[in-house]
Amino acid sequence: MDFLGKNISKIADRFISRGGNFHTDPSDLVARLKSIRGLIFDWDGVFNNGTKGSGLASTYSEADSMGTNMLRYGLWLFNKSLPITAIITGETNSSAQFLAEREHFHVIYEGIRNKREVVDELCGDHALEHKNLICVFDDINDLNMASVCGIRIMVRQSSAPLLEKFVVQEGLVDYVTAAESGRQAVREVAELLLGLMGSYETVVRSRIAMDKQYQAYFKERQGILTAHQNRKDMGKESRL
């Protein structure tokens, strides 16, 4: 992988032209990517538009799922180990559980009110530091976990311009996606980071060929048994 960033500006310009906003210099993000060992995703508003109803589970896009796989593979190629991958959500959602299990994420935390505490726990369980984590988030209840992570990416909500202004002025975000909630923003995040790492074409070609490197990664990925932690006492706690 090429972390020298020869084409950083060209990659960044592609995403800027589509409406993405960098609040940290892309070259700095490239430097931070060298120490990334884990990925944290919120669920509602990140993998979907956050719409729910009584008895209804929010869903996800296969484009986003492919994005998580390619990003994990790209990081595996650099570190020769799987990045610890987690969903941290305030709700209980069968679609989130299904995706985490199917894609062999390391853990899904549900019913979480204080997400920062869970980030600390995740780091302790897997010998990580906060700077080793990428956090993909979208709303106020995510900010205490995003604030401590090495790379913070916010999924755009056009309905919340003041929130975006707040996270920027408080230094809580490095990049705001062009894609809004429910418009495959996770895929954008994956393509952006792989592009900045200089590994996008390598990863895609390897996946197309299903070569030995990809098969080795996939075998290791498939060996992960997803841990579930649900801390919500239904009827007593709210997402807020």
Residue spans of the domains in the chain: they are 8-48+59-229
Confidence of residue 136 (pLDDT cuts 50, 70, 90): very high
Domain 8-48+59-229 CATH assignment equals 1.25.40.10: no
Confirm if 6 and 102 have CB atoms less than 8 A apart: no
Q: What is the pLDDT of residue 79?
A: 84
Asked if pLDDT for residue 53 goes beyond 60, the answer is yes
Asked if pLDDT for residue 210 goes beyond 50, the answer is yes
Least confident of 51-60, 100-109, 210-219: 51-60
Q: What is the pLDDT of residue 65?
A: 98
Q: What is the pLDDT of residue 218?
A: 98
Give CA separation, 184 vs 122, 180, 188, 190, in Å.
Answer: 26, 8, 7, 10
Single-letter code of the amino acid located at 94 = S
The larger pLDDT score, comparing residue 58 to residue 10, is at 10
Q: What is the mean pLDDT of the chain?
A: 92
Kindly report, residue by residue over 152-163, the tens digit of the pLDDT.
999 999 999 999
Which residues, 6+ apart, have CB-to-CB distance to 220 below 8 Å?
76, 82
Q: What is the pLDDT of residue 114?
A: 95
Asked if pLDDT for residue 233 goes beyond 70, the answer is no
Asked if pLDDT for residue 3 goes beyond 60, the answer is no
Q: Is 70 exposed, middle or buried (0-12, 13-18, 19+ CB in 10 A)?
A: buried
Q: What is the pLDDT of residue 6?
A: 59
Confirm if 128 and 122 have CB atoms less than 8 A apart: yes
* Cα gap 49→26, rounded to integer Å: 27
What is the CA 37 to chain-centroid distance, rounded?
A: 12
Rounded to an integer, the average pLDDT of 127-141 is 97
Angle at 233 between CA 55 and CA 92, to 5 degrees: 40
What is the CA 215 to chain-centroid distance, rounded?
A: 23
Q: What is the pLDDT of residue 231?
A: 78
Asked if pLDDT for residue 238 goes beyond 60, the answer is no
3-class secondary structure, 172: coil
Rounded to an integer, the average pLDDT of 87-116 is 96
Q: What is the pLDDT of residue 17?
A: 97
Q: What is the pLDDT of residue 2?
A: 47
Single-letter code of the amino acid located at 13 = D
The larger pLDDT score, comparing residue 81 to residue 133, is at 133
Total-model pTM: 0.93
Q: Is 225 exposed, middle or buried (0-12, 13-18, 19+ CB in 10 A)?
A: exposed
Q: What is the pLDDT of residue 186?
A: 98
Q: What is the pLDDT of residue 31?
A: 93
Least confident of 44-53, 170-179, 229-238: 229-238
Asked if pLDDT for residue 234 goes beyond 50, the answer is no
3-class secondary structure, 151: strand
Q: Is 232 exposed, middle or buried (0-12, 13-18, 19+ CB in 10 A)?
A: middle
Rounded to an integer, the average pLDDT of 137-143 is 97
